Amino acid sequence: MAEKVLKPGMPLELVGRKYNLDDPEAQEKKMASAIHDIDDSENLTITNPVIKARLIPVHAGERFNAFFFGSRIYNAPIEVVKSRSEGNIRVVDIKLTGSLQKYERREFFRLETSIPVRYLVLTAENANEFREATKNGTLLRMPGFEEGTTLDVSGGGIRFTTRTEMQPQAMVITHLVAETPDGGKKNYIFLGKLVRTGLLNNQKGRYEHCMQFVDMKREAREEFVRFIFEWEREKLKRMSGKTD
């Protein structure tokens, strides 16, 4: 099945053998890569894995669980054969040590990305103004918007940082202007609830917030998920040095 499912340019993520893709313990250690070339059904070449754009050295004999992102997510155990240079990029030869299986995620796929985000906390004081602005199409011109930066985005919510402390359960409007793979711009406006908030890595003056989307229509969610996957594919395609 592998030779029918896996294709050059396909994004993938590597985690330790004892982890699945969505295990909380694996989130900070997931390594992003992409298929660079395919020798046969068991032997592949991938781009050197990265964590937050930093190259991570891997060595012959190391073993990981690999998750491949196509029309569905597939996973298989892999072993590193060797790491080498090919032209001006670093690549890694790997072999599948088990069969390729369909993987069902326990949560939405999260894309780590830094996108400027404007946000507005909804309060009793601005509730009437919010209703009127929503009705009149002037929401983004409401006073009180502040600025932050995303850490990751998904079909279920976003995680972002701010210089302002906020309270859990607060209702928030977020506005993202994201660059599309073709170089255009796309506006995303979401209503959400803060399910977790606190200091970012114990850094004084910087706060991290996890926002869960509220009352998001299925069509809007599916469109945003498509954007996330397209963005990830384009990013990893550029990293692999391959173009259509």
Distance CA 169, CA 59 (A): 45
pTM over 0.95: no
pLDDT digit string (tens) for 195-226? 889 988 877 889 999 999 998 887 787 788 77
Strand pairing partners for 208?
Answer: 161, 198
| Distance in angstroms between the alpha carbons of the first and the last residue of the chain | 24
Distance CA 201, CA 210 (A): 14
Instruction: Give me the pLDDT at residue 150, please.
Output: 93
pLDDT digit string (tens) for 10-50? 999 999 998 888 776 677 789 999 999 999 878 999 999 99
pLDDT digit string (tens) for 53-94? 899 999 999 999 999 998 788 999 999 999 999 988 999 999
Domains of the chain by start residue, with CATH: 2-106 (2.30.110.10), 111-234 (2.40.10.220)
Beta strand ranges found along 70-184 (DSSP E)? 73-86, 89-96, 101-102, 111-112, 116-121, 146-153, 157-162, 171-179
* 180, pLDDT greater than 60: yes
Cα separations in angstroms, 36 against 21, 113, 240, 241: 21, 22, 6, 8
Instruction: Give me the pLDDT at residue 213, please.
Output: 92
Distance CA 181, CA 31 (A): 22
